[in-house]
Structure formats: C-alpha cells, structure tokens
Amino acid sequence: MPSSNLRAFIDRLIDGLLPLLSLVAALAVASVLLIALNADVGQAYSALIEGAFGTQNAFAETLVKSIPVLFVAIGICVAFRANVINIGGEGQMIAGALAGTTATLALAGSPGWLIIIASLVAGFLAGALYGGLAGFLKAQFNVNEILSTIMLNQVAVQMMNFLLNGPLLDPSEQGLNHIPKTARIVAEAQLPRLVIGLPDGTALFDRTRLHYGLVIAILLAAAIYVLLWRTPIGYRIRAVGYNERASRYAGISVRRQMILSMFLAGGCAGLAGVVQVLGLQYRLQTDGSPGGFTANAGFNGIVAALFGGLNPIGAIPASILFGGLLVGAQNMQRDLGVPASLITAINGIVVVFVVSSQILIKWRGRRRLQQSTSRTEVAVENAVVAEQQV
Amino acid sequence: MIENILAPSVFATCLRLSTPYLFAGIGEMFGQRSGMLNLGVEGVMLMGAFFAHYVVLNTGSLLLGVIAALVVGLVMGVAIAFVNVTLKAEQGISGIGVYLFGLGMSELLFKTLVGTPRSVSGFPPLHIPVLSDIEFLGIGQIFFQHNLLVYVAFALVPISAYVLRRTPLGLMIRAVGQTPEAADAMGINVARVRYMTVIFGAMMAGLAGASLSIALLNVFQQNLTSGLGFIAIALVYFGRWRPVGVMSGALLFSFVNALQLQISAIGIDVPSEFAVMAPYVITIIALVFASKQTEKPTALTKPFDRGE
C-alpha cells in the first residue's frame, strides 16, 4: 500500500521536524526579548547567522565550539536511553581534563602518538569513573542520579580550582595574582589542526583553530551508534530505559546497565575535557567559576542530545547548530551589544520545548493506532511501536 | 580556639543563611509531596533575586521587591506546571531547561538593565524588644536580631507542617502524590492540586532569591545563587519530605557555610576550595543514608494520565 507508506513517511518526517519547530519557537520567544531590549531583531539574527556560518573562519570556530558539546551529547544519548538522567557532564568533563592533562604533562618526552593515546584513555577513564560513581550510587543505594551528578559537578569544579591553584599550577605562574592554569603541554602532544585539501588545490579551514578533535568525536558518534543499535550491550541498555520491570523479568541486570550507561556517558564527557586541552587550549585553565573551563558544554550537550533525538548521529548536526549559536552570539554581542547570555536562555527554552513536544509524538502515535481499523493492523503496529521505542 | 569558632555570631549567621534554603526547600517539598519534581528551582531563584533587586534599586520599596519576586515565581510556576502537568514532560529534563533559562535570562537582564553589581539597602535587622537583649549564651544575638525574612522563613516550617498533616488541603496533596488514581477516583482534581503546589513552590523559590538579593547579600550579580537551589532540592530528599526535616537539613548546611566563613575569618589555613566543596560532599553522603526513602511520594516524577 503505497499511500500508507507515504503517510508513514510524512508522519516520521513530522516527528523528526519537531525539534526544529522547538528551535523556531524558542527563537520566536527570543525575538520578543530582543524587541523588549530595543534591539533590531532582523539585525540581531543576521549578526548571529553571519557570526556562526558567514565566513570560513566563522564556520571553523562554530565547529571548534561544537566539539566538546558533541562529545558530551554522545554520552548523554547513552545515559538517557537507559533512562538515567545524567546532569553531570560538567563534572565528568573536568575529571577527564584533569586526568588527561596530568597524563600529558607526566609523559612529556615520549613519542607524540603515545602521549595523545594515553591522555585520551586517561581522560575517558577518569570521566567514566566519575560518571560511574553516580551510576553506582543509584544502582546500589537508590540515590537520585540527577541530584548526585549536580553535586558532583560542584565538587569537580572545586577540585579543579584547588589543583590548578596548587599542585598543578604552572611553575612559571607564581605569586598571589596568578591565573589558575597548568603548564603548557608539549608540542608533540597537541592534536593537529584539521585542514581539508580540496581537489582544486585550495584548502578548507586553512589557518583556523579547527583540530582533529572533530574527527575523533564523529568516529565516537558512529561507534556509540553501533553499540546502541547493533550490539546486545546496547540492546540491554535501551531495554532498561524503555521498561525497567520487563527487562528485569527478561533476566537483564538493571543495576549493571545503570552503572554501565553512566560509565560510558562519563567517558564521553571525559573525552570532551581532554580533547579541549589537547586540541585547543594546550593547557588546563579556568577562571574559578563553574563554567570557567567547560564553558557550559556539559549542559549544552544535554540540549544537543535532546535536539538530535537522543541519537549519536543526530547529535552531530545538533551540536554544530548549537556551536553556531554560541559563536554567533558573540558576534551579536560585539555588533549590537546584546549580551551573549541570551543564548543560555534560548538553550533553556529549547530544552523545555523539546521535552514538551514529546507529548505530541505520543498523541500522534495514539491517533495512528485508532485510525488503523483491523485488529491485526493494531497488533502489528503495536509491535512496531514497541520495537521502535526500544 | 573552639570558643572562637563556635562564637554566637556563627549561630546567628547560620540562621540567617538558612533563609533561602528554607523558602526554596519548603516550596519544593510541597511540589514533591504532590508528585512533582521541579528541578528548575535554581533558575526561578535567580529570576526572583534579580527582579527583587531591580525593583528595590529603582523604587527603594522592599515590599514591592518582595512582590516582584513572588510575581516572577508565579509566572514561572504557571509555565513550569503547564509543561510538567499538562504536557507531561520529563520533569528531570524540563527542570534543566528552566535552570538554563533563568541563568541566561537573569544575566541578560542584569547586564542590560543594571550593568555592574550595585548594592541596595535591604531588609534591616529587626531587634525583637526584650528578647534581643538576652545576654545568656548569646541567645539574643543568635535568635532575635534578624531581618524580617528570616522570621518568615522559620514561621513557614510549623505552618506548612500543619497544612500538610492537619488540613483537607494537605490530605489532598499527599493523596495526589501517593496514589493519584485513587485521588482521582475520589473526585480530587489531580492536575489542579499539582498546579497549585508547583506554583506555590515557584513563588517560594522566587522569594528565596529575594532573600539573597535584598536581605542577605543586598546585591545581584550573574549566577548569584551558585547552586543553592539545587541543594534546596536535595534538602527535600534529605529531610524525607517533612518540613521539620527540611529545616534540619537547611540548618546543617548553613551551619557548615557559617563555619567556613568563620574559619577563614579567624585565619585557619584550610584551602577554601575544600570548604566550598564540603556541603556538596555532605549532600551526597546524606543522600546515600536517606536512600531507604520509604517516605518518598510514590508518584514522584510520574505524570498522571486519566486514560481518556
């Protein structure tokens, strides 16, 4: 039946477009804010888009900003799929950056590839253990993971401030008014810049700050996608998220999936932290505030993951979009004097709209069921819906 | 040494610092007792804090400042209730959205409308006649020389305990949080009760913000609350969903805060980072011990669907 195929396609298209509608709605709310702030809306948005995607360098900066967001978002997909609400991206990112930077500094003198791999592994493990701790507390002691990860974020920030002001402080930075930062990592340990040679001899992203972290992030997204949808491990994680009780009856260890999903989510966020050091900053540095190192990537990753439909592949364009918003907002601030914090507010509205729009998907699913007439169709569709959701 | 650390002023500071925890925590507790987890407390607090401060800065009227904070809480509460009750959104995630909105929005407004941190003359200390002069153990100084909002916050504890345990309204709230199906069958409008508790909670969060910006600190800056709202949510778990429990938690936390201020004031060398970290570590440990959670409202975070 081609007509029902077409309808199914259109239905799926609308479901897929819902996040985009949420963004449009959020930007509409932001327009009202801009008008209230006496800013020219058209000018503001053109400054935003121009600043994010207008030039090659702007687009490179957008990609640079999207890298940590993407790493975190990939991890959030795993955790949220297991119905574990990981708000700890910030802390896990810091844990990864601390361990990764320490490894990089300790291995100075070794071959570059060795330092990079060891640092990435250290960063992944540190983030994974930090995330896994929250997973363990949830599995073992029934501690609400939302609360524990939020608390662990604050603990990580203070731990970083302590280490960067003391044990890890750059030896050349002394005195009372030092900047909390580590020594610079050796050149061999720095991730190379990503320059794409084009057939006509010119190079894309030449002399920009874009680095190989983007490639690592995209490979990770593909790997996590395969893990979630093509392996028994991923199946179990998603099964627990879809129906905890049924999974338990099916013999799946719910506790193990909780810990594992938090371990993986934390690991991805940990990579975000270490890649930020190896690829961009070449040292771990903060200003002492909670977002001093992470620039809120731990939270923005949640936004991007939701926006990408909790699918690691979908998280790629979503992260680039939100990276673009962040970069564009700086341009808007320069040109029009509208504070860039507008974007934090917009991100919040997007999150609220995306989670609110889930009900539309549910309603539409229900209506579709009612519309199908014969019993068998209902049964088949039930099975399909169940399978899609797992 | 120990007399210096445990001076009466420390206890007085402890009571003062517990105001925002009390307002936000008690408000959040009502929501949770009806089954609604509002994770956006921090965001509402920031907005309440900003508007209260801004209004006082421009009008000089503390009453208008408090009203502004309550109105901001009311508006945000209606929005949060609509999203979480009517649209049945995942409460853990929508709350993060509200937080990010409040964080960004309050900073945006602050930067465009005020610019640099400016202090206001907030609620002055109110010396209760006779009682505030008690010298014995510093009782006067500890209990009876606070600003008005401190007394209001503590008065909220017995009042809310009474409302929850002894009034039909409290019974409705608890029923809706335990077994919404049964409450619905009894003719209670589940959605209406949850709207009420969420809106009340948000108004209290707004007031909690005001207690910082026009009573305790008398200043507003970006991210003024820096995690206080999240601790308030944890306090509800810690206090096992009881007003007195929330108050005990609030006192414990503000005591740690006050102690930390005192320790650095008399020059004991503890890295300040560890002092700042302490409340969060304690919260995690407390959550582990509070984890039996037999008192936890069964329907917490579960949207109610009448199955129509």
Contact A359 B87 (CB under 8 A): yes
Around Cβ A322, how many Cβ atoms within 10 Å? Answer: 29
The identity of residue B170, as a single letter, is: G
The partner residue sitting opposite B293, judged by closest CB among A142, A299, A344, is A142
The pLDDT tens digits of the residues spanning A140-159 come to 998 989 889 999 999 999 99
Residues 97-156, chain B, touching A (beta carbon < 8 A):
97-105, 107-108, 111-112
Residues 168-187, chain A, touching B (beta carbon < 8 A):
none
Contact B273 A159 (CB under 8 A): yes
Contact residues on chain B for A137, CB-CB shorter than 8 A? 284, 287-288
Confidence band for A232, pLDDT divided at 50, 70 and 90: very high
Average pLDDT over residues A194-220: 90
The shortest C-alpha distance from B97 to chain A (Å) reads 4
So what's the pLDDT on residue A370? 66
Residues 45-64, chain B, touching A (beta carbon < 8 A):
none
Contact B123, B214 (CB under 8 A): yes
The pLDDT tens digits of the residues spanning A256-308 come to 999 999 999 999 999 999 999 999 999 999 987 888 899 889 999 998 998 88
Contact A352 B94 (CB under 8 A): yes
Contact A127, A95 (CB under 8 A): yes
Residues 131-160, chain A, touching B (beta carbon < 8 A):
137, 141-144, 146-148, 150-152, 154-155, 158-159
The rounded percent of chain A whose pLDDT value lies above 70 is: 91
Residues 11-50, chain A, touching B (beta carbon < 8 A):
33, 37
Q: How many angstroms separate the Cα of A275 from the Cα of each of A93, A97, A119, B297, B303?
A: 10, 8, 9, 42, 39
Rounded distance between C-alpha atoms, residue A250 and residue B229, angstroms: 40
**CB of A86 within 8 Å of any CB in chain B?**
no
So what's the pLDDT on residue A18? 77
So what's the pLDDT on residue B134? 73
The identity of residue A216, as a single letter, is: I
**Which of A29, A85, A147 best probes binding to B when mutated, by most B CB atoms within 10 angstroms?**
A147
Contact residues on chain B for A144, CB-CB shorter than 8 A? 237, 287
Look at residue A21 and tell me whether its pLDDT is greater than 80: yes
Contact A143 B288 (CB under 8 A): yes
Q: Which residue of B has its CA nearest to A140?
A: B288
Contact residues on chain B for A141, CB-CB shorter than 8 A? 287-288, 291
Highest mean pLDDT among A12-16, A33-37, A186-190: A186-190
**CB of B90 within 8 Å of any CB in chain A?**
yes
**CB of A346 within 8 Å of any CB in chain B?**
yes
- Does this model's pTM top 0.95? My answer is no
- Correct CATH for B2-123+138-292 of 1.20.272, 1.20.90, 1.10.3470, 1.10.8: 1.10.3470
Contact A221, A316 (CB under 8 A): yes
Q: Would you give the distance in Å from CA B163 to the centre of its chain?
A: 18
So what's the pLDDT on residue A16? 72
So what's the pLDDT on residue B273? 84
So what's the pLDDT on residue A134? 97
Contact A158, B277 (CB under 8 A): yes
**Which of A146, A164, A286, A296 best probes binding to B when mutated, by most B CB atoms within 10 angstroms?**
A146
Contact B96 A159 (CB under 8 A): no
**CB of A304 within 8 Å of any CB in chain B?**
no
Contact A355 B83 (CB under 8 A): yes
Q: Which two tokens stand for residue A10?
A: 């259109």
The partner residue sitting opposite A151, judged by closest CB among B89, B234, B293, is B234
So what's the pLDDT on residue A1? 47
Look at residue A2 and tell me whether its pLDDT is greater than 70: no
So what's the pLDDT on residue A275? 97
Around Cβ A108, how many Cβ atoms within 10 Å? Answer: 12
Residuewise pLDDT in 10s, chain B (308 residues): 666 777 778 888 889 999 999 999 999 999 999 999 999 999 999 999 999 999 999 999 999 999 999 999 999 999 999 999 999 888 888 999 999 999 999 999 999 899 888 888 888 887 777 777 777 777 777 777 788 999 999 999 999 999 999 999 999 999 999 999 999 999 999 999 999 999 999 999 999 999 999 998 999 998 898 889 988 998 998 888 999 999 999 998 888 888 877 777 777 777 778 888 888 898 899 888 876 666 778 888 888 887 65
The rounded percent of chain A whose pLDDT value lies above 90 is: 56
**CB of A118 within 8 Å of any CB in chain B?**
no
The pLDDT tens digits of the residues spanning B271-285 come to 778 888 888 898 899
The partner residue sitting opposite B89, judged by closest CB among A85, A146, A356, is A356
Please report how the helices B228-238 and B272-289 are oriented relative to each other, as an axis angle in degrees rounded to 10. 30
Contact A147 B96 (CB under 8 A): no
The pLDDT tens digits of the residues spanning A297-336 come to 999 999 899 888 899 999 999 999 999 999 998 898 888 8
